[in-house]
Structures are given as C-alpha cells and as structure tokens.
Amino acid sequence: MQQAAAELVTAAHLVDPDSPRYADLFGGIDVQHPAVLMGVAFAAAAAWRERDRALRTAAHPILLPLVPDASGDLAQALSTAIGRGAILAPDDLTREMLEAVASNDAVLRALANTRFLDGLQGLLLSAGFDDIVFDVADRLAAALAAEPSYSMLGRDLVHVAVALQRSDGPLRARAMDLYERLLDANVYGAEQAAKDAIGR
C-alpha cells in the first residue's frame, strides 16, 4: 500500500510539476521507509525511460542520487530506467546515468540482459559515447564473472567489445583486451559472436 501510494504521488508530481498540491505531497514523502523509496524509484524510473525530455529531466535528479549505494530490490527498481528497452537516448541524461551505474555492481547485475546490451551497443552509433560504453561493458563483464548468467550474456558483451574495436586510439586496444578476456572466460558462443560481429 505504501509503495503504491508513493508511486502514485511521484508520478503525479512528475507529470504535473507545477501543481502545488502534488509538490507538497511529494515533498512530504518519507524515503527513509523502504517501501516508499521503492515506489518513488519505480515511478521515477518509468518517467525516465519515456521519450519526453521534460519527464526524463524531472525524474533524473530523483534517480541519480539513489544509484551509488543501491542494492537488492532498489537496484532492481533503478535498473528499469535503462534496462527495459533496446534504445537508449544519446544524450547527457543517459551519459550521467551510465556513469553512475558503472560504479555500482549491484545495479550492473540487475541490468544484465540482452536489451540493455543492445541499447549500449546502439549508443556507439552516436559520437562521443565510446568511452562510457566501454566503461560499462568492462565493469559489467567484471561484475558478472562469477555469475551463472555470465556465459550466456557474454555473447552480447562480445558484440559490444567487437563494435568498440572500431574506435580509434587507446580505446581500440582496451576493447581488444576486453574481448580476449571474454574468450578466455569461455563465455557461451563468444567465438561465433565475434565472427558474426566482424562479418556485419
């Protein structure tokens, strides 16, 4: 009940930020209560993944401070902001969110799915995202190294690593190192994934 109420109040405030009533209700939310915090996180994450820039901009400062220390259910809730679709907007909000999640292994593990990795690779089509994509992929590979799901997701990580090898400068060598680590870990289908990616 408390989580649902927090979700409703947060959503109402984000959709209508000029409403004094919703602003007061949102301002009175006790985020020290775990269920309430979850409600806020889920509502803000849903708003953040919308295409509407105003909604994303409003949700961003709610989510970002929660990322560094998130764990357990909260990490799962926060991951829904960027882990539910195969498209990530190539903008400053996405960059800041990726920089934040790259520092938290719990959120990275929650993001470990093909849709997120497809979105990550898609960012390479936009200028200026190579470094942050590498950082996230590298940290994700390290975070998943001991996880049962690693061997399956490794195939998707290989596609990202191979795509990054098309970069210039030092990043190319770092991407090759990441790819070699994935091969050494015998991730599922890594060798074939590399051949498929190179053949595109």
Contact 57, 93 (CB under 8 A): yes
pLDDT(200) > 80: no
Residue at token pair 């050494």: 184
Report, as an integer, the average pLDDT of 4-24. Answer: 89
pLDDT(37) > 60: yes
Band (43; pLDDT cuts 50, 70, 90): very high
pLDDT(153) > 60: yes
* CA pair distance 88, 67, nearest whole angstrom: 18
**Among residues 94, 97, 87, 99, which one has the least CA distance to residue 134?**
99
| C-alpha 146, offset from chain centre | 20
* Beta strands per DSSP E along the chain: none
Contact 100, 68 (CB under 8 A): yes
Give the global pTM. Answer: 0.86
pLDDT of residue 152: 64
Q: What is the mean pLDDT of the chain?
A: 86
Higher pLDDT among residues 73 and 114, named by residue: 73
Dihedral angle computed from the Cα positions of residues 133, 115, 94 and 24, in that order, rounded to the nearest 10 degrees: -150
161's CB contacts (< 8 A; 6+ apart) are: 137, 175, 176, 178, 179, 182
Band (149; pLDDT cuts 50, 70, 90): low
Q: φ and ψ at 178, to 5 degrees? A: -60, -45
Residue at token pair 């890594």: 190
pLDDT(188) > 60: no
Higher pLDDT among residues 169 and 97, named by residue: 97
pLDDT of residue 30: 85
